[in-house]
Structure 1
Amino acid sequence: MSGESVKLLGYWASPLALRVKWALKLKEIEYQYVEEDLQNKSPLLLRYNPVHKKVPVLVHDGKPVAESLIILEYIDETWKHNPILPQDPYERAQARFWAGFIDEKCVPAIMSAFTNQGEEKEKAAKEARENLKTLESALGGKDFFGGETVGFVDIAAGWIGLWARIVEEIADVNLIDAETMPLLNAWFGRVLEAPVLKECVPPRDKLLEHSRGFHKILTAASS
């Protein structure tokens, strides 16, 4: 790590940037954090991520890597200690599958419940619950998706335990049902309370206030 330059372009309320912060923390990688203003994106962000123009972006020795799950894999392959992905090829493939399921199924449904109203909101909330229940089946009786320690899927999904609760409060929907998905509910608590991860999580009150403002903008635009 000596002599290497590691920089993370992020936004304090971005759960995808939080994924990268968690991975760097678990790997004990020192890095420079650059807070972005997403309403006035910096020339640095536009230069390093000209395709999507969004955070997070990891810049390692001047070379940018974009998209949070890709960044996690890059971190794991570059710094071999404290591995995030399983060593077994099949288990590694499974971890990638469930991380993809989170981004392709769970997150869009939760966001749809956050941005829609009426029947569309309830339909999205139902879909989100079904997807989260499916995710719970992959956890089984383990403490973490990574087994005894936090791993790739835990990093990919752990933030949902905080953000989904905020969506529930603002949008008045039920997403994480403690009765029907007790294992997942308990797992969210373990991830968010893990000391090495907890210190990276933004304050709930600040995130709630920010999300309320974001919700007003989104619902006003759709009405």
Structure 2
Amino acid sequence: MGREDVKVVSFWASLFGRRVEWALKLKGIQYEYIEEDISNKSSLLLNLNPVHKKVPVLLHHQKPIIESCLILEYIDETWMHNPLLPPQPHQKALARFWSKFADETMVDAAWMAMCFSGNEKESALKVGRESMQRIEDEIRGKKFFGGDDIGYLDIALGWISYWLPVWEQVGSFQILDPLKFPAIIAWITNFLNHPVITDSLPPRNELLLYYQRIRSQLSST
């Protein structure tokens, strides 16, 4: 696969964009990375994703695919080696369910806990911890969500391993309690120790500074 066939339009700090890069690298697909300034969106992004105007966008043969989890499925169906989704329909449906669950509850809850204070923060923390318990139950007894290798759900939940601890530090809160969620903590170690993941993470200090600025801007408004 030539580099010119596949392009990823994303933003260096985007947890959603990182999913796409992880999937491509796990598949061994070469791609061209195009950095987007999400504070001053380019005409390229607005043309490729006119509905949501968000990253990431996968360009394959000049055709755009949007929404990170849909992109993961597209990648898995287009390059069928090293499958990400399990072959069984029921297991496949479960993986999709849990990724959707996490995006609709945990991402928002952790973001709110980082950015806000008072009752809003406490409500978000309650949702975040309850949701994390669901994920703990799902990963217990397994190395990865799909078994012995990183798969679709690991990629979809990968932000928990790296972004969530940064958000916790910025917002002075804790969802990832090692005593309550030992299976998730073990999974995080396995996930971050995978060479593809290790080599595909943004610098932590830069991520920390970026989200500190975001929090500061939000609190000032």
Normalising by the smaller structure, the TM-score range is over 0.9
Contact conserved, 1:159 with 1:192, CA < 8 A, in 2? no
Asked if the contact 1:10–1:35 (Cα under 8 Å) also holds between the matched residues in 2, the reply is yes
Gaps of 5+ in 1: none
Contact 2:8/2:33, CA 8 A, preserved across alignment: yes
- Helix, strand or coil: the match of 1:39? coil
Q: Which residue of 2 aligns with 1:75?
A: 75
Question: What one-letter code is carried by the residue in structure 2 that aligns with 1:60?
Answer: H
* Alpha-carbon offset, residue 146 of structure 1: 1.2
Q: State the match for 1:147 in structure 2.
A: 147
1:109-146: per-residue Cα shift (whole Å, max 9, x none)? 11111121022212211210110111111112000001
> Structure 2: how far apart are the matches of 1:218 and 1:190?
34
Matching of residue 189 in structure 1 with residue 184 in structure 2: no
| Secondary structure at 2:180 match in 1 | coil
In structure 2, distance between residues paired with 1:171 and 1:42: 30
1:165 aligns with 2:161: no
Output the amino acid matched with 2:203: P
Matches of 2:39 and 2:196 in 1, distance apart?
Answer: 31
Number of matched pairs: 221
| Conserved 8 A contact 2:3-2:30 | no
Q: In the TM superposition, what is the alpha-carbon distance from 1:3 to its structure 2 partner?
A: 8.2
Check the 8 A contact 2:114/2:172 in 1, yes or no. no
Aligned residues: percent identity?
48
Q: CA deviation at 1:2?
A: 4.8
Partner residue in 2 for 1:133: 133
Residue equivalent to 2:94: 94
Counterpart in the other structure of 2:180: 180
Question: In structure 1, how many angstroms separate the alpha carbons of the residues matched to 2:163 and 2:64?
Answer: 27
Large movers: runs of 4+ above 6 Å: none
CA RMSD of aligned residues (A): 1.2
CA distance in 1, matches of 2:72, 2:218: 29
CA offsets 1:88-129 (integer angstroms, 9 cap, x no match): 111101110111111111111111111210222122112101
- Hey, what does 1:214 align to over in structure 2? 214
**Rounded Cα–Cα distance in structure 2 between residues aligned with 1:40 and 1:137:** 41
Residue of structure 2 in register with 1:49 after alignment: 49
Partners of 1:99 and 1:35 in 2: how far apart? 25
Distance 1:206 1:54 in 2: 21
Unaligned 5+ segments in structure 2 are: none
Q: Secondary structure at the match of 1:33?
A: strand
Is the 1:99–1:157 Cα contact (8 Å) retained in structure 2? yes
Cα deviation per residue 1:55-97 (whole Å; 9 max; x = unaligned)? 0000000100000000000000000000000011111011101
TM-score between the two structures when normalised by the length of structure 1: 0.96
Instruction: Look up the match of 1:36.
Output: 36
The corresponding residue for 1:205 is 205
Could you tell me how far apart the structure 2 residues matched to 1:112 and 1:17 are? 20
Taking structure 2 as the reference length, what is the TM-score of the superposition? 0.97
Q: Tell me, yes or no, if the aligned pair for 1:7 and 1:60 is still in contact at 8 Å.
A: yes
User: What amino acid is aligned across from residue 110 of structure 1 in structure 2?
Assistant: A
Residue 124 of structure 2: SS of its match in structure 1?
helix
1:208 positional shift: 0.4
Q: Quote the residue 2:23 is aligned against.
A: 23
State which drifts further: 72-81 or 192-201. 192-201
